[in-house]
Structure 1
Amino acid sequence: MASRQQLQSLSEEAICSVCLDFFIEPATLDCGHNFCRSCITKSWEKKEINTCPECAEEFPERNLRINRALGNLAEKARNLNLNPKEKESKLHCEEHQEELKLFCETDKKLICLICQNSKEHKSHNFLPIKEAAENLKVQLKSSLNSLTVKKSVVLETEQKQKRKISEVREQSSSLQTHITSQFSKMHQILTEKEQRLLRDLREEEERILEPMEKNLREIQENLNSIEEKLSKLQKQMEEKDELIFLKEGVHRKRR
C-alpha cells in the first residue's frame, strides 16, 4: 500500500503551477510544460507575446495539446481528497507516517504512538499534544508578561535618557550663546582700547617730534648759510686779478 508521502508526491504531479490546484483539462505547450487550459488561456490574454509561465519560452502561435493522461491522474488525486497545496504534512511522523499525537517532554519533539514505544523514547515523559500546547501557552504568556514589564521599564529609561540628552543640548546651546556674547563684549573693549592707545601714541609722537623738527629746520638754515659763504669764498679764491681780490677782501671784512 502506498504511503501518504508517496501519494502526496504523486499528487504534486497533477497540480497546475498557475492556479496551484489539480489540473482541469490539462494542456501541454510546445516546451513540454502543462497547465490548465483555462489558466494558460487567461495568462496569454494579458500578454502581447505568448510565453510559458515556467520557462518563459515564446510561441508565435497558440498551440495547445490536451493531455488526457494527466487529466485522469488529476481526477484520481482529487478523488483521494489530497490537499494540492500541502507538499508534506507536518502532522504525521516522518519515520512511521502516523499521525503525531504526543509530545515528548524529554526530547522536546512531537511523536506518534509507535515512537512512544520505541527504544529511542524509553522512560521519557509524554503529554497529549493539546495539553503540551496549553503548557507552552502558559509559558509563553508568562514570558510575554515578563517582556511587557521589561519593555515598560526600558521605555521609561529611554525617555529619561532622551530628557537628559535634551537638557545637555539645551545647556550646551545656552553656554555657547553666553560665550559668544562675552567674547563679543571683550572684542569691543579691546578694539576701543586699541584705538585709544593708537591715538595716545600719535599724540606723543607729535609732541616729541615737533621740537626736533624745528631744530632740524634751524640746522638746515644754518647749513644753507654756511654753504652760501663757502661758495662766495671759493669764488673769491678763484679771482685772478689781485686788485679786485683785495678790494672784495676789504669789503668782506667791513661786513
Structure 2
Amino acid sequence: MRRPPFSNSILKMKRTYPSGSQKQKKKQEEEEKRKHDSGALLKFLSPPPPSQADSPVPPPDSENGAVLKSLSPLPQTEDTPVHSPYSENVPSTLTLQQQLPANDEEMPLTSSTCSSIDDLDKECLQQFWRTKKTQECPVCRRRSSRDEPPVRLALKNLCESFLKERNERRSSGSEEICSLHSEKLKLFCLEDKQPVCVVCMNSQKHDNHKFRPISEVVSSYKEELNTALKSLQEKLQHNERMKGEFKKTVRHIKSQAEHTERQIKQQFEKLHQFLRDEEEATITALREEEEQKKQMMKEKLEEMNRHISALSHTIKDMEEMMKASDVCFLKEFPVSMERVQISSQPDPQTPSGALIHVPRYLGNLPFRVWKKMQDIVQNILINHTEND
C-alpha cells in the first residue's frame, strides 16, 4: 500500500536510541511524557509577564515538571499558621530565599522543584531531616511535630484541577493530538492497533511495525464495521420477530393451561361421581342383605319361642302327673310318654348363611370398581386422542 510522502523519508532516517534494557526504555518514555505534562502545567501556573514598574522575578525553571510528583510545602509547626496560596499574606519566593541560611550545606536541596522554596520536594525535605537530629523547618528553623511533611492542599488541588481540565480538553476536541509528543496523529500502527504520530513511528516502541495512513485504515475499518452493523440489524429484526412470537406463545400457553385445567376438573368430577355412585350402590346392597338376614333371624327366633313354650308346658304337665295318684299316673303315662317323644326332636340350629357375606363387599373392591371404570376410561382416551 502506498505510504504518504513524508513517511518514506522518515523511514530512511537512521534510528539512534540509547542502549539498555526494556525497563530503561520504558523509563525514558515515562520521563518524556512527564516532562511534557510538567511543561504544560508550568505554562498554566506561570503568572503574566511583569510590567516595567514591577520588580523582575526570575522565571521558573523548565525542569519544574517535577511538581507533578509528591510536592510538600514548608513543614507546618504548631505555631505556624497555614496560608492559602491565593492569600495576600503568602511570602514570595524572593522573600523566602532571603530567609535561607547563608551556608548552603545546611540544607542540601538538590531537586529542581526546590529552586522555588515556596514548595519543597518531599524527598529533599526528608533528606534534610535525616541530616538533622530534629525535624525543623529549613527556612524558619522551627521544629515540626509531624513525622511526614504536610501536603500543600491548595497546590495539590490546583494540580488536580489543571489535569482534569486538560483531560476534558483532550476528550472534547484534542483526540487527534498525540499525548506523548503533542503531534498530530496521522498514521495507524497495524501491530498495536492504535493511531500514532510521526515521532511515535520512529520510536523504538514501534520498531519494525507496519503503518498505514489513518484515512486509508478508517475507510477499510468503516466498511468492515458497516458489514457487521448490517448483520446486527438483521439479527435485531429477527429477534424482534421472535419476541412477538414468544409473546404469542406465552398467551397461548396461558389459554391452553386454563382450558386443560377445566378439562381436568371435568374428568375428575366424572370419576368422583362414578365412585360416589359405586359407593352408594355397594352400601345399598349391603343394607338390603342386612334386612334379609335380620328378617330370617326374626322368623327363626319366633319359631324358637314357640318350641320353648311347648317344652315348658310339657315339663309342667309331667311334673303335675308325678304328683298324682298311682291310678291316675298309670292312666296318663302313655300320653305323657308320647308328648315326651314329640318334644325330644332335634334342637333348632343357627341356619347357614345367617351372617352377612363381608368378602362380597370388600374383597377386591378396587379391582371390581376399576373394571367398571373401563368404559369411562375408554371414553377419556378417545377424547384425548381427538384433541391431540
Which residue of 125, 132, 135 corresponds with 2:211? 125
From 191, 194, 200, give the equivalent of 2:276: 191
Return the TM-score normalized by structure 1. Answer: 0.55
- For structure 2, the residue ranges without an aligned partner over 5 or more in a row are 1-31, 47-71, 74-80, 94-117, 119-153, 337-388
TM-superposed CA distance for 1:219, in Å, is 0.9
For 1:66 and 1:10, locate their aligned partners in 2 and report how far apart those are by CA, in whole Å.
19
Percentage of identical aligned residues: 22
Conserved? CA contact 2:190–2:209, under 8 Å: no
Q: Assess, with a 3 A threshold, how the Cα gap between structure 1 residues 134 and 83 changes in structure 2: closer, same or farther.
A: farther
Distance change >3 Å, CA 124–CA 246, structure 1 → 2:
same
Deviations 1:199-238 (A, max 9, x none): 23322332343133211222134235535755786x779x
2:191 touches 2:209 (CA, 8 Å); kept in 1?
A: no
Compared CA separation, residues 10 and 147, structure 1 to 2 (3 A): same
- 1:92 corresponds to which residue? 178
> Are the aligned partners of 1:12 and 1:84 in contact in 2 as well (CA < 8 Å)?
no
Native 8 Å contact 1:105 1:124 kept in 2: yes
- Pairing 1:106-121 to 2, within 5 Å after superposition: 106-118=191-203, 120-121=206-207
CA shift for structure 1 position 153: 0.8
- Tell me how far apart the structure 2 counterparts of residues 153 and 183 of structure 1 sit (CA, whole Å): 44
Distance 1:70 1:97, change over 3 A: farther
1:171 alignment partner in structure 2: 256
Map of 2:84 onto structure 1: 66
**Aligned counterparts of 2:200 and 2:239: Cα–Cα separation in 1:** 45
Q: What value does the CA root-mean-square deviation take over the aligned residues?
A: 4.7
Q: Is residue 206 of structure 1 aligned with residue 284 of structure 2?
A: no
Q: What is the CA–CA distance in structure 2 between the aligned matches of 1:66 and 1:5, rounded to whole Å?
A: 24
- The structure with the largest strand share of the pair is 1
What is the 5 A alignment of 1:25-104?
Answer: 65-68=83-86, 84-86=164-166, 91-94=177-180, 96=181, 98-104=183-189
* TM-score normalized by the length of structure 2: 0.39
SS in 2 for 1:126: strand
Conserved 8 A contact 1:9-1:87: no
For residues 222 and 71 of structure 1, the distance between their equivalents in structure 2, rounded to whole angstroms, comes to 149
User: 3-state SS of the aligned residue for 1:85?
Assistant: helix
Contact 2:187 2:211 in 1 (8 A): no
**1:29 aligned partner:** none
Q: For residue 195 of structure 1, report the CA deviation from its aligned partner.
A: 1.9
Which residue identity is paired with 1:223? I
Matched letter for residue 288 of structure 2: E
Are the equivalent residues in 1 in contact too, given 2:190–2:210 (CA < 8 A)? yes
CA shift at 1:8, angstroms? 4.9
Q: How does 1:119-158 map to 2 (within 5 A)?
A: 120-122=206-208, 124-128=210-214, 132-158=217-243
Q: Distance in 1 between matches of 2:238 and 2:288?
A: 75
Alpha-carbon displacement from aligned partner over 1:152-174 (angstroms, at most 9, x marks no partner): 11221232234334334422331
Cα separation, 2, equivalents of 1:100 and 1:194: 95
| Partner of residue 46, structure 1 | none
CA distance in 1, matches of 2:210, 2:223: 22
Task: In structure 1, give the amino acid aligned to 2:224.
Answer: Q
CA drift at 1:116 = 1.9
Q: Structure 1: any 5+ residue segments left out of the alignment?
A: 15-32, 35-62, 238-243
Corresponding pairs, count:
195
Per the alignment, do residues 217 and 8 of structure 1 end up closer, same or farther by CA in structure 2, a change over 3 Å counting?
Answer: farther
